[in-house]
Structure 1
Amino acid sequence: LKDLIDKLPDEFMRVHNSYIINLKNVSYIQDSHLIIEEHKIAIAKSYKDCLINCIDKLLL
């Protein structure tokens, strides 16, 4: 996944060792998970602060 994330546009972000997500598709964040459509995806603690900052920037 490390090589893949470097090739993707900025709206994609790694949120867990096993997941890369498109920030534009996030419905909401709930505790240590995010929801995209009906899918619940774990957010690693090490990525959570960065995820929130990136979503805030995307919304501006």
Structure 2
Amino acid sequence: MDYPLYAGDEKTGSYNDHFLVYERENQPCQRCGTRIEKIQISSRKSFFCPGCQE
């Protein structure tokens, strides 16, 4: 998801396109193809690939 700061803002928010696992739960890992998982730790969400991060 991209959230611009104001209407017409084309610079803010596109950084999410560069994340390999963040907010990509249940999608295949771009490196190995394993399904990305999300866990919650102290009310914070964390995303990881169980194939790459054994």
Q: TM-score, normalised by structure 2?
A: 0.24
Which structure carries more helix by proportion? 1
Which structure carries more strand by proportion? 1
Q: Which structure has the bigger radius of gyration? A: 2
